[in-house]
């Protein structure tokens, strides 16, 4: 499983195993990883692990979250990425062997570009069709790695894992619903024509390729 190496001023403090689902990071005691420093917000950031992928998200923190020295709101993590939160550094180590991972910014060799393979097309994207509210009937494309839906009081995150989609509740004490049942914090798969209810809005998930009818 992927790992975070927590350090401050070059001193390693602890090693954190990232489990499947959402890891909350912040100063408050209800976080999975509590960082006791005034520069860290109560609920500062979160990392969601789905399969072999990990997604970093800044949770509207006061001082921001840095990834490899640049401010970031949302990003897909890769092996050896460095996350900075306040005075803390968190080194992300993927569960996959490092030599199987492509670097974040691979060097360009102009002499070799003629031998490069054609880029593989992305799989088609699914969408959410709004069923209620002022925007009823409109479609929300799900082409990005993840998308937040709702309000700070009740929020869902839709995660794209290849051609598959998952949903998890990432904010709010009032449960959002998947087919009438609470979504919860652990990512759950989305199937064609599943219904979601969040922030007084009802919507239906439409898969990229609808399953064939028997």
Q: Return d(Cα 32, Cα 22) in angstroms, integer.
A: 9
Q: What is the pLDDT of residues 105-131, one digit of tens each?
A: 444 444 444 344 455 566 688 999 999
pLDDT of residue 121: 61
pLDDT of residue 106: 46
Instruction: Report the percent of the chain where pLDDT is more than 70.
Output: 85
What is the torsion angle, in degrees rounded to the nearest 10, for the CA atoms of residue 139, residue 142, residue 147 and residue 148?
30
pLDDT of residue 202: 94
Q: What is the pLDDT of residues 155-180, one digit of tens each?
A: 888 888 777 898 988 878 899 999 99
Q: Which residues contact 206 (CB under 8 A, 6 or more apart)?
A: 126, 127, 128, 129, 139, 192, 193
What is the torsion angle, in degrees rounded to the nearest 10, for the CA atoms of residue 94, residue 50, residue 132 and residue 152?
-50
pLDDT of residue 74: 86
pTM (predicted TM-score) = 0.65
Q: Return d(Cα 64, Cα 59) in angstroms, integer.
A: 9
Low-confidence spans in the chain with pLDDT less than 70? 96-123, 210-214
95 contacts 167 by C-beta, under 8 angstroms: no
């Amino acid at each position: 499983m992927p790992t975070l190496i927590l350090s401050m001023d070059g001193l390693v403090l602890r090693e954190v195993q990232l489990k499947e689902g959402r890891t909350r990071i912040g100063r408050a005691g209800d976080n999975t990883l509590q960082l006791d420093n005034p520069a860290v917000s109560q609920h500062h950031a979160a990392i969601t692990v789905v399969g072999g992928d990990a997604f970093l998200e800044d949770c509207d923190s006061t001082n921001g979250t840095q990834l490899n020295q640049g401010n970031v709101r949302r990003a897909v993590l890769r092996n050896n990425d460095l996350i900075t939160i306040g005075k803390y550094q968190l080194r992300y180590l993927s569960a996959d062997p490092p030599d199987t991972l492509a670097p974040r910014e691979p060097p360009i060799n102009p002499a070799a570009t003629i031998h490069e393979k054609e880029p593989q097309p992305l799989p088609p994207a699914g969408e959410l069709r709004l069923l209620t509210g002022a925007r009823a009937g409109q479609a929300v494309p799900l082409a990005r790695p993840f998308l937040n839906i709702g309000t700070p009081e009740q929020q869902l995150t839709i995660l794209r894992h290849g051609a598959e989609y998952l949903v998890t509740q990432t904010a709010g004490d009032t449960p959002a619903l998947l087919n009438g049942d609470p979504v919860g914090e652990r990512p759950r798969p989305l199937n064609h024509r599943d219904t979601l209810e969040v922030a007084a809005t009802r919507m239906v998930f439409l898969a990229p390729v609808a399953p064939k009818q028997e």
